Amino acid sequence: SEKKQVRKFEAQTSQLLKMMIHSVYSNKEIFLRELISNASDAIDKLRFAAIQDNDLYEGDTELKVRVSFDPEAKTLTVADTGIGMNLEEVTHNIGTIAQSGTREFIAQLSGDQKSDANLIGQFGVGFYSAFMVADRVELRTRRAGAPANEGVLWESDGEGEYTVETIEKPTRGTEITMFLNEENLELLENYKLRQIVRKYSDHISFPIEMPVDVEPETEEGEDEEAKDTAVAYETVNQASALWTRSQSDIEEEEYQEFYKHVSHDFEDPLIWTHSKVEGTLKFTTLLYVPARRPFDMNTDFEGKRHGIKLYVRRVFIMDDAEMFLPRYLRFVRGVVDSDDLTLNVSREFLQENRVVRAMRKTAVKRVLDMLEELAADTENPEKYAKFWEAFGPVLKEGVIEDDRNRGRIAKLLRFSSTHSDEPSADVSLADYVERMKEGQKKIYYVTAESFAAAKNSPHLEIFRDKGIEVLLLHDRVDEWLVGHLPEFEEHELVSVAMGELDLDLGKSEDADDADEESEKKDETPEASEEIQALIERLKETLGEEVQDVRVSRRLTSSPSCLVAGSQGVSSNLDRILRQAGE
């Protein structure tokens, strides 16, 4: 066997992890959740790989996790019969901050921010959480299919260094032994440990075994060897995939724990939707909306890490099965399980698949149903507000991308408006319509690069004067959004900065359509000779810079403002396009 090698954790990693586990997670028992979650993932991976290569089972198809303990050695062990790791995988994966971008993100935080539990608490420390309860951790593992002498022993006290060496390991999979610190010796009690294990494993699809809880020995002088071999194990969890169980049998807490398992998130989800379809196609969806936006939309969202897990008849097939949801719902996490697909499907095959398309349509409907329900929950308005703050900008893309559901998504939109003049986006289009002035037909909005710019736009003056609400759009995507949303419930959406205005509210309906007419009537009042001279001078001076210079009724206190022609590109979009280099 190879010599023992001493290696260092990547700079900062162990220091950061240590700070995280000691300052943030007061609930130490979550290390079991992390280790069981990893074991379950490893078994999922083995079962998937074995679809192509049955030899990986090495003649032993039993898939399970075993949690055991030794009161004398003061150790706790979690062992699985999953895929295992080779030497390279161990050094690459174990005791590092796995989540892409997390390390960079944390490294950028200032000292104050680093101790902010709220901020740090959203990053999981995964495997490393074992050091919350242990002074020393040993990990033995062997990759499925590799020879017995290619086992690996990894050992560390979590302080900055670890050792690795090649060992003999007859069985495939991973075994993690924690040498418990003094404060956590109570974990060595079967009853207590069992309670914790059950809490974090009831939603796991594979059996989790623990020693049978025997009565404490009353007789002395027992044969030591007989005692060793007498340890019997029993399954302590339900060991059926959570999503296959009926909703009424699943506790809220199980749904939450399952979410943390599939998403690798450390916080509870905001909401979820669980449903089974049993028609021509048979499938189950369990979809969650996280409570907060990932710290880095780009690495987490674009990489779609831990998005949707695809299962086929309870067998894990792949992570990040993005073809089951459109891009604008990329914040959704969870599981889809199909009875109709075959086990050996490729990503390419799924992209073009009829079954997938049908499942996707249903999944979108479920998510929109769930969001509508949340938006309608008037008893807990803060929940939808939280959702909107985190994912509103992403959902808005749906108005642009999803013709079929545009109307439904439009109802879910929230904006800030001159009604409250507050930056919080809490006005729905329906709210706006309800508050429209008598005779008002259109929904007015202004777009700008910031809330303050929108709020202080000179275009608003006349609207404020007349008491007409204007939506204050200041999100980058808003410009495209309104371009794809010409109307809401038969009310045209119009920019206060474009073309002519029609604010003659008392007038007959057809004033709306008589665009050319109204331009002359409302927009261009007779200019006096004096003013006409000024206009000529302005036109001369500005030359090619402008299309026209007109007298306007828009303004009540500002002397002038820029307006885009009704067919033209708005000035805000113009700015965005110019930034994008077009």
SS (H, E, C) 499-528: CCCCCCCCCCHHHHCCHHHHHHHHHCCCCC
Tokens 């038969």, residue located:
490
Phi, psi (deg, nearest 5) at residue 136: -150, 145
Q: Which is nearer to ligand ADP, 152 or 485 (CB)?
A: 152
C-beta separation of 141 from 150 below 8 A: no
Contact region with ligand ADP (CB under 6 A), list: 47-55, 79-87, 307-315, 374-382: 79-87
Q: Cα(429)–Cα(451) distance, rounded to whole angstroms?
A: 18
DSSP count for the chain of H helices, then E strands: 21, 19
Q: How far is the CB of 391 from ligand ADP (least distance, A)?
A: 22
Q: Which is nearer to ligand ADP, 121 or 483 (CB)?
A: 121
82 touches Mg ion (CB under 5 A): no
Binding mask 124-163 for ligand ADP (x = CB under 6 A): x-xx------------------------------------
Smallest separation (angstroms) from ligand ADP to the CB of 175? 9
Q: How far apart are the first and last CA of the chain?
A: 62
> Which of 17, 39, 67, 472: binder of ligand ADP (CB under 6 A)?
39
Q: Which of 324, 337, 313 is nearest to 363 (CA)?
A: 324
Q: How many residues bind ligand ADP (CB under 6 A)?
A: 17
Q: Does 174 sit near ligand ADP (CB under 6 A)?
A: yes
Q: Considering only the stretches 47-55, 77-85, 357-365, 531-539, report the one whose residues sit in contact with ligand ADP under the rule CB under 6 A.
A: 77-85
Given ligand ADP, Mg ion, none, residue 80, with its beta carbon under 5 to 8 Å by kind, binds: ligand ADP
Asked whether the beta carbons of 265 and 122 are under 8 A apart, the reply is yes
One residue of 38, 81, 166, 273 binding ligand ADP per CB under 6 A = 38
Which of the residues 302 through 331 are near ligand ADP (CB under 6 A)? none
Q: Which of 13, 14, 32, 34 binds ligand ADP (CB under 6 A)?
A: 34
Phi and psi at 375, nearest 5°, equal -65, -30
Q: Tell me which of ligand ADP, Mg ion, none is bound by residue 82, counting a contact when its beta carbon lies within the kind-specific cut-off of 5 to 8 angstroms.
A: ligand ADP
Strand partners, 78: 67, 176
Question: Interface with ligand ADP includes 42 (CB under 6 A)?
Answer: yes
DSSP string computed for 199-244: HHHTT-SS-EEEE--PPPP-SSS--HHHHHHT--EEE-S--S-GGG
Contact partner at residue 350 from ligand ADP, Mg ion, none, CB < 5 to 8 Å by partner kind: none
Q: Is 38 in the site for Mg ion (CB under 5 A)?
A: yes
| Residue 49 or 561 with smaller CB distance to ligand ADP | 49
- Report if residue 522 touches ligand ADP, rule: CB under 6 A: no
- Decide which of ligand ADP, Mg ion, none touches 351; Cβ closer than 5 to 8 Å per partner kind: none
297 in a known ligand binding site: no
Long-range pairs of 438-443 with CB within 8 A, sequence gap ≥ 24? 438/505, 439/505, 439/506, 439/507, 440/468, 440/505, 441/491, 441/492, 441/502, 441/509, 441/512, 442/491, 442/492, 442/493, 442/494, 442/502, 442/512, 443/471, 443/488, 443/491, 443/492, 443/493, 443/494
Residue ranges of the annotated binding site for ATP are 34, 38, 80, 85, 93, 100-101, 122-127, 174, 347
Give contact residues for ligand ADP (rule: CB under 6 A).
34, 38-39, 42, 80, 82-85, 93-94, 98, 124, 126-127, 174, 264
